[in-house]
Structure 1
Amino acid sequence: MRLLLISDTHLPKRAKALPEELLGRIARADAVIHAGDWVDAATLDLLEARAARLIGVYGNNDGPALRRRLPEVARAELGGLRFGVVHETGPAQGRERRCAGRFPDLDVLVFGHSHIPWDSTAATAGGGMRLLNPGSPTDRRRQPYCTYMTAEVADGTLSEVTLHRLPPRHPAGRR
């Protein structure tokens, strides 16, 4: 099962549209996971129309219309693994411990908010929960690149977790 992980799209505040490279990956993904801060319902509509399966949550910048359509926390079983999605996880320091305590039943937690890519494992009684933040495909903030992630999952194993860097927009834009 091929996964596409994104967060913090902030459309149309930070960019006018999702990058073409990212749009091309939607059709090839078995599931798209969006960890919040969509900002506009049009992005949710687009992903709902194009994705084979969409799992998403609202973020702190998402208004009432998006909050009516999306949960604060989402859970799904994908390829034999228990996934969770949430927008905010708090400060980087202590993140693994906090998330393991809050979500003891998950194998993988996808989150956003910081726009900073993250890939770590929290020590848990069952082995370890993987924490993934794909960054943002439209608003790099203080990061060198806009980013998103892809991964594969099969038979209870997460593999091929890849952070993708997007090229700068042209003409010179905000990236």
Structure 2
Amino acid sequence: MRLLLMSDTHLPRRAKRLPAPLLDELPCSDVVLHAGDWVDTATLDLLESRSRRLVGVYGNNDGPDLRARLPEIAYADLGGLRFGVIHETGPARGRDIRCAARFPGLDVLVFGHSHIPWDTTAPTGLRLLNPGSPTDRRRQPHCTYMTAVVTGGRLTEVELHRLPRR
């Protein structure tokens, strides 16, 4: 099962559209996970129409229209792993311990908010992934997103994709 992970798309504030390399991943992905800060409903509509399965949450920049359609926290069983998706997890310091305590039944937690890619594993085994942002790099050298594969109840081939600068 191939996964596409993204967050903090902030359309149309930060960019006019999602980058072509990210859109090219949609037909190759079994599940798309979006960790919030969509900003516009058009992006949600686009991903719903072009994804086989979409698991998404709202973020702090998402208004009432998006909050009416998306949960604050989403859960999904994917290929034998229990995933959670949330927008914000708080400060980087202590994140792994804090998230492991808050989400004890999860194998993987996908989050956003910081626009900073993150890939760590808590002592409990919880894998924490932040794909960064495909449209707003902030202080990062590149805009980013992630792909991963779930096979045999394991998360493999987790890859951070750097997008070319515009």
Q: Which residue matches 2:79?
A: 79
Paired residues for 1:24-43 under 5 Å: 24-43=24-43
Paired position in structure 1 for 2:15: 15
Q: Which amino acid aligns with 2:14?
A: R
Q: 2:144 matched to which residue of 1?
A: 147
The corresponding residue for 1:173 is none
For structure 2, the 5+ residue unaligned runs are none
Matches within 5 A, 1:97-136: 97-124=97-124, 128-136=125-133
Matched with 2:47 is: 47
- How far is 1:129 from its partner? 0.4
Local SS of the residue matching 2:27: helix
Q: 1:24 and 1:75 mapped to 2: Cα distance?
A: 25
Find the counterpart in structure 2 of residue 168 from structure 1.
Answer: 165
Q: What TM-score do the two structures reach when normalised by structure 2?
A: 0.99
User: In the alignment, what sits opposite 2:155?
Assistant: 158
Q: Deviations over 1:10-56 (max 9, x none)?
A: 00000000000100101110000000000000000000000000000
Any gaps of 5 or more consecutive residues in structure 1?
170-175
Q: Count how many residue pairs are aligned between Structure 1 and Structure 2.
A: 166
Tell me how far apart the structure 2 counterparts of residues 117 and 72 of structure 1 sit (CA, whole Å). Answer: 20
Shift of 1:68: 0.3
What is the CA RMSD across the aligned residues, in angstroms? 0.4
Q: Which amino acid aligns with 1:89?
A: T
For residues 51 and 24 of structure 1, the distance between their equivalents in structure 2, rounded to whole angstroms, comes to 11
Question: SS at the partner of 2:11?
Answer: coil
- Indicate the percent of aligned positions where both proteins have the same amino acid: 76
Distance in 1 (CA, whole Å) between partners of 2:22 and 2:121 is 26
SS at match of 1:9: coil
TM-score by length of 1: 0.94
Distance in 1 of aligned mates of 2:50 and 2:27: 7
Runs of 4+ in 1 over 4 A off after TM superposition: none
Per the alignment, in what secondary structure is the counterpart of residue 12 of structure 1?
coil
Once the two structures are superposed, residues 100-153 of structure 1 have per-residue CA deviations (whole angstroms, 9 ceiling, x without a partner) of 0100000000000000000000111xxx00000000000000000000000000
Structure 1 residue identity aligned to 2:101: G
Task: Supply the distance in 2 between the matched residues of 1:93 and 1:156 (Cα, whole angstroms).
Answer: 29
Counterpart code for 1:91 = P
Within 2, Cα distance between the matches of 1:19 and 1:46?
Answer: 13
